[in-house]
Amino acid sequence: MVAQRNQPFRAEHLGSLLRPTELLKTRTAFEAGRASAEELKKEEDEAVKIAVDMQKKLGYRGVSDGEYRRGVFWGSFFQELEGMTEVQNPPLELFRTYVPDIAGFLEKGGPGQSCLCTGHIKHTGKSTLIDEYEYTKSLVDADRAGEVKLTMISPVWYHLRYREGKAYPTDVYANDEEYFAAIAEAYRTELDILYKAGVRNIQIDDPNFAYFCSEAMIEGWEADKSNKRTLDELLDVYIKCYNDCLSQHKDKIHFGLHICRGNFRGSRHFSEGGYDRIASKLLKELDVSTYYLEYDTPRAGSFEPLAQLPINKNVVLGVISSKFSELEDKSAVKERIYAAADVMAKGAGQTREQALDRVFLSPQCGFASHQEGNAIVWQDMENKLRLVREIADELWPGQP
C-alpha cells in the first residue's frame, strides 16, 4: 500500500523541461509570422502530453507542463497586468548594473527587454496561467488534479533590477510600500482565479533572493549611494510583499519557493554564495511551506543554514545537477541528504529520521529556464529524473 501524502513529493523537479525540437521550430515560425497561434497551440499541446507522459512513466506526481507555453520561466504574468509595460532595449541608466542577472546580460550588450511599471497596477481579471494548468490537469487522473505543479514568477521580480526610484513612476506610487501593495493585490486576484480552477500546488521562482547572498551584489549595493535601504531592510520589504500576496491562500494552496541561482543558455548561472545571510529571515518569516534549494555545487554553500528551518517546513534538496549530463553517484547523494538531515535535526531538536521526513529530492533547477534549455539532451534529462526517483525510493520506500 502506497503511503498517501500531499505535496511536496519525495521525488520532485522544478517545473521547466527541455522543449522538443518541433516545438522550438514552431515557436520560431510563430514569432516570425510563419505559423498561426492555432498551429503553435497544437504543437504545444502535443509536446506537453509527451512531457506529462514521461513524468508519469517515471513516477512523478507533481507533474508540470514543462513551461512549454512560455519562452522564459517568468511567463507573462507581469506583462499582462494593467500598468506594467514590456520595454525593448531599455536604457541602461534604469538598472542596478551590479544585480547579477543584469550584470550577466551586460556581457551580451544589455538587457534586450524588460518589464516596467508605467501606471497604476491592476489585474485584468484574466489569468495568463490558467490555460497552462487546465490542459495539464486534463492529462492526469481527476483525483490528482491538485497535485499538478504550476510555477509562478516572484512578486518582487521587477523591482530589484531597477535603481532607486526607477521601478515605477513616483507620481503613481509614492514609495515601495504603495507599489508592493498594488502588486500583492494583483497576485491575490491571480491566486483566486487559480484556486477556483483547482490549483493546489504552486512553486514561486525567485532569483532575487539568491542575489542577496552574492558578494559582488552586496559590494555593488553598498557602493551605490542612491540606495535608501540596506539589503537587510530590503529583504524585510520583500518578505512582507510575499506574505501579503499569499495571505488569503496560504492555508489552501501548497506554496514552495525556489531560490534560483540562474539557469541561462548553455547551462550558465548568475550568482553564488551560501544561504547563510538570508536563511534566518527567509526560512522563518516567509509564509511558504517548502523551499526548493540549489545544492549542486559548492557555490551554494553548506547545509548549515538548514538548522534554522522551522519544524513545520520542508526542504527539497537540489543536489542533482540539471546542468550537466554526468550522473551523480547515488551513495554520495544519499550521504549529502543525511548530512543535511543531521543539520536540520540538530537545529530542530529532532532525530535524523524525523528530520528526513521534512526532506525531499530534486534536480537543483529546471532543465530549461529559457526555451533553449540547458546543454544536455532529452535522454540526459530522463536519466536525471530517473536517478532522483530511484534515490527517493531507496530513502523513502513506497512514498510518492
Interface stretch with Zn ion, choices 53-61, 213-221, 351-359, 362-370 (CB under 5 A): 362-370
Task: Compute the least distance from the CB of residue 165 to Zn ion, in Å.
Answer: 29
Q: Does 259 bind Zn ion (CB under 5 A)?
A: no
CB 256 within 8 A of CB 8: yes
Q: Does 210 bind Zn ion (CB under 5 A)?
A: no
Of 81 and 300, which has the nearer Cβ to Zn ion? 300
Quickly tell me which residue has 522563518 as its cell. 284
Distance between CA atoms of residues 240 and 261, nearest Å = 22
Long-range contacts of 85-92, Cβ-Cβ distance < 8 Å, separation of 24 or more: 85/115, 85/116, 85/117, 85/118, 85/119, 86/113, 86/114, 86/115, 87/113, 87/114, 87/115, 87/116, 88/112, 88/113, 89/113, 90/114, 90/116
Distance between CA atoms of residues 186 and 100, nearest Å = 27
Sole binder of Zn ion in the list 156, 309, 365, 368 (CB under 5 A): 365
Sheet arrangement for strand 290-294: 150-153, 201-206, 254-259, 290-294, 314-320, 359-363
Task: Compute the least distance from the CB of residue 257 to Zn ion, in Å.
Answer: 11
Of 26 and 214, which has the nearer Cβ to Zn ion? 214
Of 239 and 260, which has the nearer Cβ to Zn ion? 260
Sole binder of Zn ion in the list 260, 340, 355, 392 (CB under 5 A): 260
Spell out, one character per residue from 176 to 195, where the chain touches Zn ion: x when CB under 5 A holds, - when not. --------------------
Interface stretch with Zn ion, choices 54-62, 104-112, 165-173, 260-268 (CB under 5 A): 260-268
Of 235 and 316, which has the nearer Cβ to Zn ion? 316
Task: Compute the least distance from the CB of residue 373 to Zn ion, in Å.
Answer: 13
Of 156 and 365, which has the nearer Cβ to Zn ion? 365
Interface stretch with Zn ion, choices 58-66, 236-244, 363-371, 378-386 (CB under 5 A): 363-371
Distances (CA, A) of 242 to 8, 160, 161, 176: 20, 14, 17, 13
Please report, in angstroms and rounded to a whole number, the separation of the first and last CA atoms in the chain: 11
Distance between CA atoms of residues 378 and 61, nearest Å = 20
Task: Compute the least distance from the CB of residue 60 to Zn ion, in Å.
Answer: 18
Of 10 and 261, which has the nearer Cβ to Zn ion? 261
Distance between CA atoms of residues 19 and 378, nearest Å = 8
Of 137 and 261, which has the nearer Cβ to Zn ion? 261
Task: Compute the least distance from the CB of residue 258 to Zn ion, in Å.
Answer: 6
Binding site for Zn ion (CB under 5 A): 260, 365
